[in-house]
Amino acid sequence: MGNLECINLTKVYDDRRIALDNVTFSVETNGIFGLIGRNGAGKTTLIRILATELEPTSGSASIDGIDVLNQTGRLRERIAIVPQEARTVRWMTPKQTVFSYLLWRGYPYKDAGRLACESLSKLGLTQYGDVLNNRLSGGTKRKVLLATVTASEAPVIFLDEPTVGLDPISRRELWDILRELGKSRFIFLTTHYLEEAEHLADKIGILQEGKLISVGTLAELRSSVRYQYSIKLSPKTVVPRTGDAEVTVSSNGYTQIMTNEAEAFRMARLLSEQGAKFSISPVTLDDIFFRLAGQKAGTEFEA
């Protein structure tokens, strides 16, 4: 088991826009690492640098001891990427898509055919193998793209916004596939669905205006903010007297109370006695992002 390491990674574009600002972190290359951040935070820039598609202005990065800048040929043999803008070729079939990708990577003809069929089977795509891509649903097309990179046997896979635009059912189907894939590969994904990062990622990184402001498991991120519990009240519910807590009211009238564990359960008892409608839960990734980044993320980020 190795590590993905970034040291003072910085990228300044020609217009002097700072996309990455001294990003430094290290994570083990197993399981799933989710990178979140608002539009323009630098997520795509970081994933492109790590996937050897873009050079940084300064700093260094390595994956399993292989230098991203100076050993690109060796690294490309171990990685595969589905960029955010990736699309299937309309006039090709899923089988042809995966097969041609493997040939491009240097696999022998016979091995490419076998691995293509195996990959499509693992992702439940066998029945679509000979159907033109332009006749497939959006979710199925995304699975085809995932099949291409998994067929390569690359131990490190980069996925930039892999489920953007998918309906909730297709998104959750893809989550199941990614969870299973994360048992045998290292997946580095960016997402602007907070729920996706919560459900999929073993570790989460938060980017804010090019700066990496926090990295850790969801439990570790929760422990880094002052309050670990959230109570949400329906509109017009009488808010009980609070001790150590932070109370906010949304534009639609719902009240959120952020507080510690003891205070949360004390208030829950009071609300139950009142017959009030409320929910209580550990703070969400959205709440954490707001505390750490100083702005609300919302249900999902902009694309």
User: What is the 3-class SS of the chain, one letter each residue?
Assistant: CCEEEEEEEEEECCCCCEEEEEEEEEEECCEEEEEECCCCCCHHHHHHHHCCCCCCCEEEEEECCEECCCCHHHHHCCEEEECCCCCCCCCCCHHHHHHHHHHHCCCCHHHHHHHHHHHHHHCCCHHHCCCCHHHCCHHHHHHHHHHHHHHCCCCEEEEECCCCCCCHHHHHHHHHHHHHHCCCCEEEEECCEHHHHHHHCCEEEEEECCEEEEEECHHHHHHCCCCCEEEEECCCCCCCCCCCEEEEECCCCCEEEEECHHHHHHHHHHHHHHCCCEEEEECCHHHHHHHHHCCCCCCECCC
Tokens at 190, concatenated: 């960016």
| C-alpha span between 210 and 206 (Å, rounded) | 10
For helices 138-151 and 109-122, the axis angle rounded to 10 degrees is 130
pTM value is: 0.86
Report the DSSP beta bridge partners of residue 33: 188, 203
The whole-number pLDDT of residue 294 equals 63
By DSSP bridging, strand 79-82 and strand 229-233 are unpaired
Closest listed residue to residue 228, CA positions, set 294, 288, 297: 288
Report the DSSP beta bridge partners of residue 25: 6
| C-alpha span between 75 and 82 (Å, rounded) | 16
Altogether, the residues listed in the chain come to a count of 303
User: Over the stretch 135-157, which tens digit does the pLDDT of each residue have?
Assistant: 998 889 989 999 999 999 899 99
Identify the segments of the chain with pLDDT beneath 50: 296-303
